[in-house]
A and B are shown apart, each in its own frame.
Chain A
Amino acid sequence: MVVVVATIKSVMLYEIYTPFPEETDTVAQRAVNSILNATIMITVIIVMTLVLVLLYKYRCYKVIQGWLFLSSLLLLFFFSFIYLQEVFKTYNVAMDYFTLAIVVWNFGVVGMICIHWKGPLRLQQAYLIMISALMALVFIKYLPEWTAWLILAVISVYDLLAVLCPKGPLRILVETAQERNEPIFPALIYSSTMVWLVNMADTDRPKRNSAESPAPSSPSQDDGGFTSSWVSQQEHRLGQLQSTEETRREIQQMPSSRPPVEEDDEERGVKLGLGDFIFYSMLVGKASATASGDWNTTLACFVAILIGLCLTLLLLAIFRKALPALPISIFFGLVFYFATDNLVRPFMDELALHQFYV
């Protein structure tokens, strides 16, 4: 989130395009347009989720893996290239293509290795965070304001429904994976600790990272990055499912040649889907971009999202099953954004003017 905020504050966004423009004459028209935009986006996400669930159900693992590989490739090379270009433009740094090519190449290749094969945990986490931030930046760039807020709200509701309803696609995914007794896409999940599973180590580690299938550079704005979001959607479920209780059980069931690990990390390790990172970052990034250049609003959203996440983790500890990570945090984030921007900001501005401290 910090990366996204820093970038947004410094790099100016350029043209935004969606099917329905938001620079309209009346408020009503703008509202209608943004609702239509949001509907398109959400439909794309739902469709992609269903496609993924179907692919998984019919065991087309190769397709999914190829897709993920391609997405992480595009994300690590192409989007980081665009990002760097924007940064150089903003800071007026002169850079030749050769140096840039070497840098991007190295960054990308190391990323692919860490994500799809093996790598130090911290590096994997760092890459995951970087690509989530890149995705969030893409969303912020391509989405007009009202559409973005609407999407955030709707996607939290969708998340809630998809994970908790018996017929929700994500729940089906989770249950199918449970029936087959296999880890659901350990890729695409941000894990806070090393996975200690002996027998799962091979299948787990290589796929551990994620990427979302980025939407190609292209013109299809609706797709602009959304295909990734559905993928990310299922992650956090997967993530939650792969809770440490499960992994611990697995270890205990195996004949182990080493003493049982009683690491605190195992107790507290959590898995979170990358989609959650992306939407959190998107919220904070949008907040910092549009809140009258005010840092207080950004800070408030930041804290609100973190608290939401803590609450979600608390609920996870209580319920011990896959939970949607978006609703609580996004709800808090949105409430605090609008409240801080409209209520607290004028108050704090007045105080700062007179240098009163509260």
Chain B
Amino acid sequence: MTAAVFFGCTFIAFGPAVSLFLFTIAREPLRVIFLIAGAFFWLVSLLMASLVWFISVQISNKESVSQQKGLLIFGVVLSVLLQETFPASASSHHTDSILLSGLGFGFMSGAFSVVNILADSVGPGTVGIHGDSQHYFLSSAFMTMAIILLHMFWGIIFFDGCEKQRWLAVAAVVASHLLVSCLTFQNPQYVSSLVPTYVVMFFMGVWAFYTAGGSLRNLKLCLTCKDKDFLLANHRPR
């Protein structure tokens, strides 16, 4: 493990998110504030889930490994559900703020999942020396990137669903979040966890794009820089 692994994994994990940040958020302080608010709410939901998990661990049988694992899974599920209730309580429905709080959620979630791992990757050591997978760092990085983007997409679809009372969309978001988290239980069989996660991410991305008012025509205009409204430099909500 070296600096190469560290930088590589960092860029993989945070690349898309940070570039989104730089292009659309960094210029305006208000947006940064929304981002931080999103991160804060994620943190609070995580805190509550940890509290519940902690209490349940204290009163459970510490010797039994399977029970501990079961409790962990319970903790994960609870945390996912709590995360979904928080955006529901946020009041603003302005498109910008939804995108930003989703990204904030994603950033915080990704950061919490991967920062300690990245910090460890700078130091010396051999990955998987005891027979564990050698791709630990790389898979963590890819997973983190997927999760961050997913949070953003989920945020958009969730809010849109709430606003338009399309409960199917809301349920789909919660269900896919649970699905992705449960898929990670398959680690370290990375194929069975990463590939479906990416499929879900792609699907969610397309759905979010259409929900936010995009279309193939807009996409084409944007990519060929013909539509001034969509130029990233002067990004304005439509």
Contact = CB atoms under 8 A, between A and B. Distances in A.
A355 B43 contact: no
Interface in B125-174: 136, 139-140, 143-144, 147
B36 A307 contact: yes
A354 B26 CA distance: 35
A344 B47 contact: yes
Contacts of B207: none
A347 B40 contact: no
A300 B187 CA distance: 26
A336 interface: yes
A355 B112 contact: no
B109 interface: yes
A295 B136 contact: no
B117 A352 contact: yes
B17 interface: no
Contacts, number: 100
A34 B140 CA distance: 42
A356 B49 contact: no
Nearest to A350: B72
Helix, strand, loop or mixed for chain B's interface? helix
Contact of B115 (A299, A307, A357): A299
Interface stretch (B4-12, B73-81, B87-95, B210-218): B73-81
Contact of A356 (B29, B40, B117, B185): B185
Contacts of A304: 40, 43
B116 to A, nearest CB: 6
A346 B76 contact: no
Interface string A244-260: 00000000000000000
A343 B51 contact: yes
Interface in A324-358: 336, 339-340, 342-344, 346-348, 350-352, 354-358
B208 interface: no
Contacts of B136: 355
Contact of B36 (A295, A303, A356, A358): A303
A303 B187 CA distance: 30
A306 B79 CA distance: 23
A306 B36 contact: yes
Given A296-B116, A343-B54, A346-B54, A358 B46 contact: yes
A268 interface: yes
Question: Which residue, A268, A339, A346, A355, has most C-beta atoms of chain B within 10 A?
Answer: A355
B43 A300 contact: yes
A348 B43 contact: no
Interface residues of A, number: 28
B47 A343 contact: yes
B215 to A, nearest CB: 32
A25 B46 CA distance: 36
B113 A347 contact: no
B108 A303 contact: yes
B209 interface: no
Given A310-B37, A351-B72, A358 B109 contact: yes
Nearest to A356: B184
B225 to A, nearest CB: 27
Nearest to A347: B50
Contacts of B53: 347
Given A344-B50, A355-B136, A357-B144, 18 more contacts: A295-B111, A296-B116, A299-B112, A299-B115, A303-B108, A310-B36, A344-B46, A346-B57, A347-B53, A348-B116, A351-B72, A354-B69, A354-B185, A355-B140, A355-B143, A356-B187, A358-B109, A358-B181
11 contacts: A295-B116, A296-B116, A303-B36, A310-B36, A343-B47, A343-B50, A344-B46, A344-B47, A346-B54, A347-B49, A358-B79
Those 9 A-B pairs whose CB atoms lie nearest each other, nearest first: A355-B187, A347-B50, A295-B115, A357-B184, A343-B50, A344-B50, A307-B40, A358-B79, A306-B36
